Amino acid sequence: MVHPDIQAALKHNQPIVALESTIITHGMPMPQNVETALQVEEEVRQAGAIPATIGILDGCIRVGLTGEELKELARKPREEVIKCSRRDLPYVVASRKSGGTTVAATMLLAHQVGIDVFATGGIGGVHREGHITMDVSADLVELGRTPVAVICSGIKSILDIPRTLEYLETQGVCVASFESPQRMFPDFFTRDSQCQVPYNLNTIQEAAKLLRSWKELNLKSGALIGVPIPHKFAANKKEIDQAIIDANQKALENGIKGKDVTPFLLKAITEITKGRSLESNMALIRNNARVAGQIAKEMKTPKQ
Ligand code: PSU
Ligand code: MN
């Protein structure tokens, strides 16, 4: 079901930014999840675009969850809500369950209704040892086959960033950094992963121009813009690196596998950093929503 406001925005060719809901159901604890989701929507509005948070409530796909629906999704017992990627969609709908949509599922659903800009915190990637375990997020494959532009702060260093970038190249995804003259891909909690990407976009106008060409070319593949976390919220690299090592160790000891790995690591890192990583996470997603809103607006009404 597409919310009437989103239907109207689509009809009138207004700028819209899609937002995911796994961040609400599995990425952050209560009450910061709801708080962040509402703030993120507000950032999009302030930037002059219309937010469309996507999720699944009792088997019904919602594009443009209302504030109440968003809270309902967040309040459901965690064991009842499925982390829903592309492969999970048929089951969640058929069994009338609820789900938080991942980047992959949100991209797919956004594209089906005609939304082409999407903001989030970070995407999934190739896990460390992923070349052996084949734990490679479906987000990367989706970026290769669905034409939605994802604005995020890159991938967490809990993942293998160089291999993730290689995989995106193979999938034909146009990857660029934002406001990074050195073309550094951001590293979620910190601004610099020390991995270079091929292009940098200096301004909102440059980003919108690139995305207009990307649309005109009708490539059928996605685009990815890496926006670094604002300076004042960036984590201490040493502290975060150690937290990641400890969290990975904990995951190993607890036999955590598959789709449970990312939520487990996020929670462990929040605990180890005594909540500091969560604050950074909240700040960067708000910033990404603002940037995405501005880009979406500029794509519709370019200032020459
Ligand atoms: N990274 C985060 N927070 C998150 C996720 C990633 O910092 O909540 C979520 C996103 O929804 C992403 C998903 O699409 O995890 C990737 O999971 P997997 O690696 O299982 O594909
Ligand atoms: Mn996985």
Against a cut of 0.90, is the pTM above it?
A: yes
Residue bearing the CA closest to ligand 1, atom 17 = 124
Q: 162 CA to middle of ligand 2, Å?
A: 17
Q: What is the pLDDT of residue 304?
A: 60
Q: What is the pLDDT of residue 78?
A: 80
Q: Is the CB of 124 under 6 A from ligand 1?
A: yes
Q: What is the pLDDT of residue 212?
A: 98
Q: What is the pLDDT of residue 158?
A: 82
Q: Is the CB of 270 under 6 A from ligand 1?
A: no
Q: What is the pLDDT of residue 225?
A: 98
20 is catalytic: yes
> HEC profile for the chain?
CECHHHHHHHHCCCCEEEECCHHHHHHCCCCHHHHHHHHHHHHHHHCCCEEEEEEEECCEEEECCCHHHHHHHHHCCHHHEEEECHHHHHHHHHCCCEEEECHHHHHHHHHHHCCCEEECCCCCCEECCHHHHCCECHHHHHHHHCCCEEEECECCCCECHHHHHHHHHHCCCEEEEECCCCCECCECCECCCCCECCEEECCHHHHHHHHHHHHHCCCCCCEEEECCCCHHHCCCHHHHHHHHHHHHHHHHHCCCCHHHHHHHHHHHHHHHCCCHHHHHHHHHHHHHHHHHHHHHHHHHCCCC
Q: 86 CA to middle of ligand 2, Å?
A: 12
State which residues of the chain have pLDDT below 70: 303-304
